């Protein structure tokens, strides 16, 4: 990877990216509320479980398939994959989160003005672009390798989860970094195993139930 591509990868994965990721916990806050997450060990277990049973088994192969569609100018496939991904979101909150972040990232890419016209025009035609749809478009435009894009996508999600834990629990920064160190090792093992043809599975009923409960949670900091 050349230096510019590496810098673009760091930019898209940064928590400073203004797409509203900080306002979503993706079910994590509800798990804290019901007592499933209490300390460093349970933080790591939660993140690892969601990583294995949802993120890497469904979002990751979906992201890679979308990247392949962008690279091949297969916009019909892209729209179908985006619709399938939105349909896979089990709750209103999870669906709203990916649409809101996808819309915000598309708006940001318009402001950056370095997207190929054909790619950006196709992106504009999608009524409700999900986050992986727009993320894969940016990765394609910036010549970021599929495996690097996938690793950064998972890392950005995991870093968000740790930040939620640090904000919501008595969890110190050092503990959060230990969790990220271990999760990073797992991400490095998972990414090479996933291809665009991998069987996609999004069976995480516990996450869906907690996300549904979060919608009516009495006190909360996060939108999802």
Task: Identify whether 108 is part of a domain.
Answer: yes
Q: Which residues, at least 6 apart from 205, have a Cβ–Cβ distance to it below 8 Å?
A: none
Task: Identify whether 120 is part of a domain.
Answer: yes
Instruction: Give the pLDDT confidence of 23-54 residue by residue, as tens digits.
Output: 889 989 999 998 999 999 999 999 999 999 99
Q: Could you give phi then psi for residue 127, rounded to 5 degrees?
A: -65, -45
Task: Identify whether 34 is part of a domain.
Answer: yes
Question: In this structure, what is the dihedral angle of CA atoms 189, 80, 133, 3, given to the nearest 10 degrees?
Answer: 60
Within a 13 Å sphere around the CA of 43, how many CA atoms are in the beta-carbon half?
Answer: 29
CATH number where 80 lies: 1.10.4190.10
Task: Identify whether 38 is part of a domain.
Answer: yes
- Is residue 98 exposed (0-12), middle (13-18) or buried (19+ Cβ within 10 Å)? buried
Task: Identify whether 19 is part of a domain.
Answer: no
pLDDT at 20: 85
What are the Cα distances from residue 83, in Å, to 95, 105, 134?
Answer: 11, 18, 13
Q: Which of 195, 157, 193, 200 is nearest to 46 (CA)?
A: 157
Task: Identify whether 221 is part of a domain.
Answer: no
DSSP reduced 3-state for 2: coil
pLDDT at 212: 87
Q: Please indicate, yes or no, whether the overall pTM of this predicted structure exceeds 0.85.
A: yes
Task: Identify whether 81 is part of a domain.
Answer: yes
Q: Which of 218, 153, 152, 161 is nearest to 22 (CA)?
A: 161
Residue 201 is part of which domain span? Answer: 26-214
- Axis crossing angle, helix 146-168 with helix 131-141, rounded to the nearest 10: 130
Distance CA 160, CA 191 (A): 19
Quote the number of domains for the chain: 1
Residues of the chain short of pLDDT 50, as ranges, are 195-196
Task: Identify whether 21 is part of a domain.
Answer: no
In terms of DSSP H, where are the helices of the chain?
A: 3-13, 28-33, 40-50, 60-71, 75-88, 92-112, 117-124, 131-141, 146-168, 173-190, 205-214
């Amino acid at each position: 990877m050349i230096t510019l591509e590496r810098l673009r990868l760091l930019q898209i994965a940064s928590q400073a990216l203004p797409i509203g990721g900080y306002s979503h916990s993706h079910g994590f806050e509800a798990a804290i509320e019901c007592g499933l997450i209490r300390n460093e060990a349970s933080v790591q277990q939660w993140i690892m479980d969601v990583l294995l049973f949802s993120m890497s088994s469904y979002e990751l192969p979906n992201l890679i398939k979308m990247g392949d569609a962008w690279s091949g100018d297969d916009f019909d496939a892209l729209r179908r994959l985006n619709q399938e991904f939105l349909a896979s979101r089990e709750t209103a909150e999870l669906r709203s989160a990916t649409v809101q972040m996808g819309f915000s990232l598309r708006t940001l890419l318009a402001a950056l003005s370095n997207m190929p016209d054909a790619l950006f025009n196709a992106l504009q035609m999608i009524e409700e672009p999900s986050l992986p749809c727009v993320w894969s478009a940016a990765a394609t435009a910036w010549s970021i390798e599929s495996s690097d894009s996938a690793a950064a996508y998972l890392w950005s999600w995991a870093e968000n989860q740790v930040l939620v834990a640090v904000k919501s629990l008595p969890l110190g920064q050092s503990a959060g970094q230990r969790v990220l160190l271990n999760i990073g090792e797992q991400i490095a093992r998972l990414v090479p195993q996933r291809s665009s043809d991998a069987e996609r599975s999004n069976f995480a009923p516990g996450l869906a139930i907690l996300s549904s409960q979060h919608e009516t949670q009495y006190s909360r900091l996060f939108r999802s």
